[in-house]
């Protein structure tokens, strides 16, 4: 039995910097990783998907430039697109390994599991430590469709290993993974059918967001099948046949399943350490990431935190401060996120409905993209900006931006909210003309 200062299980975007910092401070640190270093973000999520979308959206914009009088012939080399995606992924992955080696972290390439409350075992190695941090993330959740588990399907785990573009693709799921990858395939030349059991896309967002995305997908020749389920699935000679609850039938050479996530806790043997899980299998934590076992913490989406890289990274910063005795909590920063469809969805804080459920008295205003000079001039007039404020204090409570590069623009609202700004401060700001950002003071001005 080896004894060290800390054990990290999982090399996601919280676990890696935490391990590196602890090792750089002179601690003996062991990190267990059963797959590729860097977690979902680098290997199966942010990095490859955004490299993939860089090509897809370039193709889509070229085709849509016809509205500006520019008629382009687009030829997609899918094999080259995917080779570039994998090369970027591999380079980032190697960077993670180099960082850990340089910091002096011992990496065990094996699945780590609890032997007891202070011991992790895997790959023939057993390590005991007073500090154990779980950062094991999540994996694709396959829906309960008869026969689905017996056929080869695409998920975000293997999507980026493709070398040939499917002529027809069926996408199950209308969340951000299904929307991003589905639109990307369509823009690269695959005929895409998207099936979603809810009545609108991104069903956790407002209906207005779904309506804009549905129109965008229509322009990309994507067929939407909303509010339906898959009753039967057949797979023969490389062809998938899906029978839907509305009586329709779909066929395709590829089936992408993006219907949800499940926590990577099955292999941990959490009961052996006294680490409690909730009914969905997520690690239970308190406001400072403590599990129900002394000395064991959990960060990132395995602990039910919002499933975003920037959240996991901030969890690392939070936990680092907590271990030093500082007062940080799991939700002590304004949360923003984005969906990288085109148009993009940029979100921060509450929607109007969410704010009301939290007991706020609210005011909300909306500005269509068709009212924004830059959007009209550049032909990006699909979408809207919406602002929600507290009617009693005038503080900004949230914003939803749907439009070109909304993921960049939403940071303006995030910074205002983190600073506790009122909508009047935003309204008084002089933004540059003509820009998309110029519309934010105009949006706030609707409250006057």
Q: Does the annotation place 173 within a ligand binding site? A: yes
Q: Does the annotation place 260 within a ligand binding site? A: yes
Q: Name residue, tokens 């969340």.
A: 175
Residue 348: name the closest of 396, 310, 307, 405 by CA. Answer: 396
Q: Does the annotation place 179 within a ligand binding site? A: yes
Residue 440: name the closest of 416, 316, 193, 419 by CA. Answer: 416
Q: Does the annotation place 174 within a ligand binding site? A: yes
**Neighbour-count burial of 430, counting CB atoms closer than 10 A to its CB (0-12 exposed, 13-18 middle, 19+ buried):** exposed
Q: Does the annotation place 50 within a ligand binding site? A: yes
Distance (Å) of CA 167 to CA 27, 191, 249, 442: 53, 6, 17, 44
Q: Does the annotation place 300 within a ligand binding site? A: no
Q: What are phi and psi of 158, to 5 degrees?
A: -120, 0
Query: DSSP string spanning 45-113?
Result: SHHHHHHHHHHHHHHHHHHHGGGGT--------HHHHHHHHHHHHHHHHHHHHHHHHHHTPEEE-S--E
Catalytic residue, candidates 234, 310, 411, 433? 433
Which residues, listed in sequence order, are joined to residue 8 by a DSSP beta bridge? 31, 133
Q: Does the annotation place 180 within a ligand binding site? A: yes
Known catalytic residue: 433? Answer: yes
Q: Does the annotation place 301 within a ligand binding site? A: yes
Q: Does the annotation place 175 within a ligand binding site? A: yes
Distance (Å) of CA 249 to CA 147, 189, 219, 375: 16, 21, 22, 39
Distance (Å) of CA 206 to CA 177, 225, 415: 18, 19, 23
Q: Does the annotation place 353 within a ligand binding site? A: no
Q: How many CA atoms lie within 13 A of 279 on its CB side?
A: 0
CA-CA distance, 235 to 241, in Å (whole number)?
6
Which residues, listed in sequence order, are joined to residue 131 by a DSSP beta bridge? 6
Annotated binding site for NAD(+): 173-180, 260
- List, by residue number, the catalytic residues: 433
Annotated binding site for FAD: 50, 112, 301
Annotated binding site: 50, 112, 173-180, 260, 301
């Amino acid at each position: 039995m080896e004894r060290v200062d800390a054990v990290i299980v999982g090399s996601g975007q919280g676990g890696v910097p935490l391990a590196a910092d602890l090792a750089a401070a002179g601690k003996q640190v062991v990190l267990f990783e059963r797959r590729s270093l860097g977690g979902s973000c680098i290997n199966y999520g942010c990095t490859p998907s955004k490299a993939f979308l860089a090509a897809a959206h370039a193709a889509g914009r070229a085709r849509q430039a016809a509205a500006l009088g520019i008629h382009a012939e687009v030829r997609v080399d899918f094999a080259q697109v995917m080779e570039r995606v994998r090369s970027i992924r591999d380079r980032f992955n190697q960077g993670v390994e180099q960082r850990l080696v340089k910091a002096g972290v011992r990496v065990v390439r094996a699945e780590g599991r609890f032997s007891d409350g202070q011991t992790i075992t895997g790959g023939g190695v057993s390590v005991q430590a007073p500090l154990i941090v779980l950062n094991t993330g999540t994996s694709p959740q396959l829906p309960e469709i008869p026969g689905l588990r017996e056929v080869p399907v695409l998920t975000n785990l293997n999507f980026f290993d493709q070398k040939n573009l499917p002529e027809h693709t069926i996408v199950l799921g209308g969340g951000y993974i299904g929307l991003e990858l589905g639109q990307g395939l369509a823009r690269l030349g695959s005929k895409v059918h998207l099936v979603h059991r809810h009545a609108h896309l991104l069903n956790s967002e407002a209906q207005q967001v779904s309506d804009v995305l549905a129109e965008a997908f229509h322009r990309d020749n994507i067929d939407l099948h909303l509010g339906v389920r898959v009753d039967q699935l057949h797979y023969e000679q490389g062809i998938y046949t899906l029978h839907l609850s509305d009586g329709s039938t779909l066929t395709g050479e590829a089936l992408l399943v993006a219907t949800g996530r499940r926590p990577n806790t099955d292999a941990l043997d959490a009961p052996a350490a006294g680490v409690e899980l909730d009914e969905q299998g997520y690690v239970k934590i308190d406001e400072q990431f403590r599990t129900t076992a002394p000395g064991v913490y959990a960060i990132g989406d395995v602990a039910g935190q919002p499933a975003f890289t920037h959240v996991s990274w901030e969890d690392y910063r939070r936990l680092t401060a907590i271990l030093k005795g500082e007062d940080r909590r799991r939700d002590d920063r304004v949360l923003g996120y984005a969906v990288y469809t085109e148009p993009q969805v940029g979100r921060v804080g509450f929607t109007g409905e969410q704010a009301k459920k939290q007991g706020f008295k609210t005011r909300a205003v909306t500005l269509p993209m068709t009212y924004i000079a830059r959007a009209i001039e550049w032909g990006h007039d699909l979408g809207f900006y919406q602002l929600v404020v507290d009617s009693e204090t005038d503080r900004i409570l949230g914003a939803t931006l749907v439009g070109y590069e909304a993921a960049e623009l939403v940071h303006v609202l995030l910074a205002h909210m983190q600073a506790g700004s009122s909508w009047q401060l935003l309204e008084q700001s002089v933004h540059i003309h003509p820009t998309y950002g110029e519309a934010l003071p105009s949006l706030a001005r609707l409250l006057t």
